Chain A
Amino acid sequence: EVRLVESGGGLVQPGGSLRLSCAASGFTFTTYWIHWVRQAPGKGLVWVSRINTDGSTTNYADSVKGRFTISRDTAKNTVYLQMNSLRAEDTAVYYCARVSTPSGMDVWGQGTTVTVSS
């Protein structure tokens, strides 16, 4: 079964850090880009970041650039999102999703919730 499973969310104070993980299984991990998308409570979907198949290319939304870092560990079939200097507006459910040119963004994880509050 093709799966993406996010973990690492939680409650953190403003200015704090969290590292999210996205564990992949059931498909050839090294042939897919992995993206992060977030959704604030009651709001729509917002693209956050992406990483290419070998980790050599990364991109970020302006709202997180300089604060978030995406990386991947091929041996563990896992992508990480290191989130520093967290703000209240980063509060959201964070989803990871796989992307390939022919398939688009076709498989999403179940999401992990990040709450930034004092």
Chain B
Amino acid sequence: ENVLTQSPDFQSVTPKEKVTITCRASQSIGSSLHWYQQKPDQSPKLLIKFASQSISGVPSRFSGSGSGTDFTLTISSLEAEDAAAYYCLQTSGLPWTFGQGTKVEIK
């Protein structure tokens, strides 16, 4: 099983600050890495697909980068509505696996 490790587990951030979340895979996955945002009592929402591809309707402040084993989700200027948990997902091989999640809180 390909284990995804996110860091940090929790981040408390001031609005307009830049946020960086990393996801490290235990085995190389090429670009088969996707990022999700989940707000309390809501379903996950796709933010970035295949490491760096943007999703229609997602604000441009969200971007992704990386390949192989190391990936990054960046929120360029945090807004209050971005308070949520963020998860990475690898789809390179079965079983598909998620990172443990990163909770972003607004200061």
Secondary structure class of chain A's binding surface, majority of residues: strand
Number of A positions contacting B (CB below 8 A):
20
Binds B, one of A7-15, A41-49, A67-75: A41-49
Q: How far is the CA of A88 from the CA of B96 in the complex (A)?
A: 23
Chain B residue total in the interface (Cβ 8 A): 21
A106 beta carbon closer than 8 Å to chain B: yes
Contact present for A47 and B98 (CB under 8 Å): yes
Q: Is there contact, CB below 8 Å, between B100 and A104?
A: no
Residues 46 to 83 of chain B near chain A (Cβ within 8 Å): 46, 49-50, 55
In the complex, what residue of chain A is closest to B33 when comparing beta carbons?
Answer: A104
- The answer to whether the Cβ of A80 comes within 8 Å of any Cβ in the partner chain is no
Interface residues as binary, A40-64 with B (CB distance below 8 Å gives 1, 0 otherwise): 0000111100100000000101100
B24 within 8 A of A: no
B73: shortest Cβ distance to chain A, in Å? 15
Q: How many A-B pairs with Cβ below 8 Å?
A: 46
Q: Which of A59, A103, A110 contacts B49, CB < 8 Å?
A: A103
A64 CB to nearest B CB, Å = 10
Residues of B within 8 A of A108 (CB): 43-45
CB <8 Å contact, B43 and A105: no
- With A104-B91, A106-B49 as contacts: A95 and B43 at CB distance below 8 Å: yes
Q: Are B44 and A104 in contact (CB under 8 A)?
A: no
**Given A61-B95, A104-B49, A105-B34: A44 and B43 within 8 A (CB)?**
no
B residues neighboring A (CB under 8 Å): 34, 36, 38, 43-46, 49-50, 55, 87, 89, 91, 94-101
